Amino acid sequence: MKNTINKKAINVVLLKCVCLLFFTGLGVSVQAEEDTYEQETILKEAGDFFGGGAEGLADVIEKIFEDMGRPNAYIKGQEASGAIVIGARYGDGMLVRKGGGSVKVHWTGPTIGFDAGGNLSKVFVLIYNLPNTEAIFQRFPAIDGSFYFIGGVGANYHQVDNLVLAPMRFGAGFRAGVNIGYMHYRKKKSWNPF
């Protein structure tokens, strides 16, 4: 009789745990979807920002959505960069978070690698798992040189823990090669790339 009671108690506890996990997971999923951008919204925002010259933009955005899912924030900005083996990148823009809040951001970053040239670019950064606008202000390791390049729009990924950035660049100039470095997002503009 004790075995029957223990088995029933274990089954009840397990059922409660499964229900709790299911309904908690369902609530998080619905909340996360409400706080994220749909692919069509991002395509419109990025298309309006880059203008008609950004051929292949839809393909790049589709690839990022396949890889990462729906972002909960983005940055619209511009940057300038240059290098002869050692280089630097400077930019600024406006971070917009789906769950509310926007803030001006500046970024700098040193680079080193097999890299030469310079460019001016518009930058549209998709951001994943940003808990609040303050969380962007840190350094993100970066390997640059596009992971893929379609019709003039290049994109790659930068990640710290669960926070992922997917910057897309479209611009003028010539910069070829591969480099490593980091992007340092700041509240105030700085000419110091470190």
Residue-wise pLDDT tens digits, 51-94: 876 667 888 999 999 999 999 999 999 999 888 889 999 999 99
Contacts of 98 (CB under 8 A, 6+ apart): 35, 36, 37, 71, 72, 73
Confidence at residue 100, expressed as pLDDT on a 0 to 100 scale: 79
Let me know if 113 is exposed, middle or buried by CB neighbors in 10 A (0-12, 13-18, 19+): middle
pLDDT level of residue 191 (50, 70, 90 thresholds):
confident
Contacts of 151 (CB under 8 A, 6+ apart): 54, 55, 56, 57, 59
How far, in Å, CA of 128 to CA of 169, rounded? 17
How far, in Å, CA of 178 to CA of 187, rounded? 28
Please compute, for residue 97, the number of CA atoms within 13 A of its CA located in the half-sphere on the CB side.
17
Beta bridge partners of 89: 81, 109
Q: What is the mean pLDDT of residues 166-183?
A: 82
Mean per-residue pLDDT over the chain, rounded = 79
Residue 20, pLDDT > 70, answer: no
Confidence at residue 97, expressed as pLDDT on a 0 to 100 scale: 94
Q: Which of 94-108, 126-140, 167-181 has the lowest mean pLDDT?
A: 167-181
Domain boundaries, the chain: 1-34, 38-186
Q: What is the mean pLDDT of residues 144-155?
A: 58
Confidence at residue 185, expressed as pLDDT on a 0 to 100 scale: 95
Strand ranges (E), 98-162:
102-128, 139-144, 148-150, 153-155, 158-160
Q: Which of 7-16, 124-133, 158-167 has the lowest mean pLDDT?
A: 7-16
Residue 145, pLDDT > 80, answer: no
- The fold of 38-186 is Lipocalin (2.40.128)
Contacts of 119 (CB under 8 A, 6+ apart): 80, 81, 82, 171, 172, 173, 174, 175
Confidence at residue 175, expressed as pLDDT on a 0 to 100 scale: 67
Beta bridge partners of 139: 184
Tokens of 54: 């950004």
Confidence at residue 54, expressed as pLDDT on a 0 to 100 scale: 63
